[in-house]
Amino acid sequence: MKKLYIAMVLLLASLLIAPKFIGSIVETERERIVGKLNETDGFTLTTSEYHSGWFGADAVSEMTIAVDDKNIADVTVILEESLSFGPVIVTEQSWHLAFGYSSVKFKFSALDVDENIVEIINEKLHVGGLLGFNKAVTTFIDTDKISYQDTDGLIVSEPASMQFSLSNNEYISGDFSWGGLEVNGQDERLVIGAVGMSTKQKVVSGDYLAGTAILTGDALFKVAGLNVYHENSKVFSVDQAVLTSEVSLDNDLLALALNYQANEISASGQYFKEPNVTMVLANIDVDALQELNTAMANLSRSASGEYDSEESLNVLTGLTEKLLAKDPNLKITDLSVVTEQGKVETEFNFNINKHLFDGANLNSLALITALEADAKGKAPMEFLSKLGMAPMIDNFVEQGYVNRQNNEITVEAKYVQSQLTMNGKAFQL
């Protein structure tokens, strides 16, 4: 019993003493992060006050974000931080074992926005950052339900929550959830259902905080529904939309795979089920892409905030041959919807022939000349007739450009050296 008592006393003493030593670690890491953030173009964060105590600290900083448009003033925000030192930290979300936690309040000192909007942001937005024992930084962003009304209508945003972690400036993961949004105007109404997102990525090149990083990994984005109304009539809707992406790296070549799908979509009186888009962009030279990222980040800008067009063109011209050397390729493997008359589906394949591309003459004509593409597609004749395309389809069938068997129209097309062929026959306008 006496040993247990001594152990409890030692544990309590360590918990009381540890925050004092941990505070110096938190301050050093905070200064490092601030320094990295200040390396980002158009972003400045300056700490004017930092008062450290035994269990925590208070800090006041000024954050300035430069706006590209010189006609709009830069955004200046005063950040008031309340820091808690570990090893045991209790926050609004939960309790944590960590070095420190920072709760941030915002005060906009220079922003050309309605004062009511600024007040809502200050009251409804809650931001905190957790510094883990592995030096990973986790950011928590939460918003309360927000209602804003002006002469044009009413906006209601449901609560949202985000948790985002950056470890060793290399590994990124996060989750986001939002209850949705409703915008009511005089004649229009927009309703967005629940939104969710998750991601897990890794920096394979560049610097994340400097804005030049190239990432691999996957991401998921989903929306329960989106509906647009005009005078109480629904003019557009999407139900259960999901977008997934995956970026992979193999032998210094990047590949991006995207897939979009939904249960149904309606627009302009047309109704479709199971819309789907699956595409893959492959053979992207990661070194060339990194050079492009860095060069674009360092481009000079005019007084209006626009990039110098000649300088931009020189950058692209210098890297085009390197980007094309690995034969990048875009494939749309599935572009389809299910209509009331049947399924419409197509697939495409695009390449830029590096031997035909004139890198010294970078313009749309050079791209068209070097573009190579092929496609396949099929659709129910009944669906095309409903769109008023029957006379044109009959003409194409007669000329041999498309095939018709029973109720189905099929076509194969190729585009090489500025010549389009359909079903092996040169197409003439």
Render pLDDT for 305-358 as a digit per residue (tens, 0 to 9). Answer: 555 566 666 667 667 778 888 889 999 999 999 998 999 999 999 998 888 777
Instruction: State how far the Cα of 40 lies from the Cα of 209, in Å rounded to an integer.
Output: 7
Q: Burial letters for 87-109: b for 16+ Cβ neighbours within 10 Å, e otherwise?
A: eebeeeeeebebbbbbbbebebe
Inter-residue long-range contacts of 293-297, CB under 8 Å, 24+ positions, other chains counted:
293/206, 293/212, 293/214, 294/206, 294/212, 295/319, 297/41, 297/210, 297/211, 297/212
Predicted confidence at residue 301, as pLDDT, reads: 56
Task: State pLDDT tens for residues 370-424.
Answer: 889 999 999 999 999 988 899 999 999 999 999 998 889 999 999 998 889 998 8
Binning pLDDT at 50, 70 and 90, where does residue 10 land? very low
Tell me how far CA of residue 111 lies from CA of 118, 148, 262, in angstroms.
8, 18, 39
Please check the confidence at residue 54 and state whether its pLDDT lies above 80: no
Predicted confidence at residue 7, as pLDDT, reads: 42
Kindly report whether the peptide bond that precedes residue 19 is cis, defined as omega within 30 degrees of 0: no
Instruction: State how far the Cα of 336 lies from the Cα of 77, in Å rounded to an integer.
Output: 47
Instruction: State how far the Cα of 3 lies from the Cα of 10, in Å rounded to an integer.
Output: 11
Alpha carbon 367 to chain centroid distance? Answer: 27
Instruction: State how far the Cα of 159 lies from the Cα of 178, in Å rounded to an integer.
Output: 6
> β-strand 403-405 against 408-416: which pairing, if any?
antiparallel
Task: State pLDDT tens for residues 138-179.
Answer: 888 898 998 888 777 888 999 999 999 988 888 999 999 999
Which stretches of 66-194 are assigned E, i.e. beta strand? 75-85, 88-90, 95-97, 100-110, 125-131, 137-143, 146-150, 153-157, 160-167, 171-178, 181-184, 188-192
Q: Which residues pair with 257 in a beta bridge?
A: 246, 280
Instruction: State how far the Cα of 132 lies from the Cα of 150, in Å rounded to an integer.
Output: 43
CB 409 within 8 A of CB 386: no
CB 370 within 8 A of CB 356: yes
Which stretches of 262-370 are assigned E, i.e. beta strand? 264-267, 270-285, 329-339, 342-352
Predicted model pTM: 0.80
Q: Averaged over 205-220, what is the pLDDT? A: 85
Q: How buried is residue 266: exposed, middle or buried, by Cβ count under 10 Å (0-12/13-18/19+)?
A: middle
Instruction: State how far the Cα of 40 lies from the Cα of 213, in Å rounded to an integer.
Output: 12
Task: State pLDDT tens for residues 62-90.
Answer: 888 776 666 666 778 888 888 887 677 77
Structure tokens at 358: 């004139």
Share of the chain above pLDDT 90, in %: 34
Which stretches of 53-122 are assigned E, i.e. beta strand? 56-65, 75-85, 88-90, 95-97, 100-110
Q: Averaged over 127-140, what is the pLDDT? A: 84
